[in-house]
Amino acid sequence: MAESTDTGTPRVLRISFEFHVPRTLRKNIHGSRINTALDTLAGRVVGLAESLFPWADRVSVRKEWLYNWTDEWEDIKLPATEDNTPA
């Protein structure tokens, strides 16, 4: 197996936005409006990236629309080991 010659540290700047529609809003949001919003928001963020974060060589864009019936987050502390504990 050849050794990697890449000695750099992988670095990623991540920012997330979630736009929540009130549960009581009884308006049908058409797919075309959702896609327009997704494309426009992504385009504007990418447009700002060159001047605000000039070190980046690429941007990964995730576009998602979902019905969020269940969304639970939990941070679970794992037991300390020699591999995950600083010396």
pLDDT tens across the length of the chain (87 residues): 566 677 788 899 999 988 989 889 888 999 999 999 999 999 999 999 989 999 999 999 999 999 988 888 888 888 888 877 777
Question: How many domains are contained in the chain?
Answer: 1
Please state the separation of Cα 48 from the chain's center in Å: 16
In a domain? residue 83 = no
Tokens of 58: 């690429």
Range of the domain at 46: 29-56
Find the distance separating the first CA and the last CA of the chain, reported in whole Å: 30
In a domain? residue 70 = no
In a domain? residue 35 = yes
In a domain? residue 68 = no
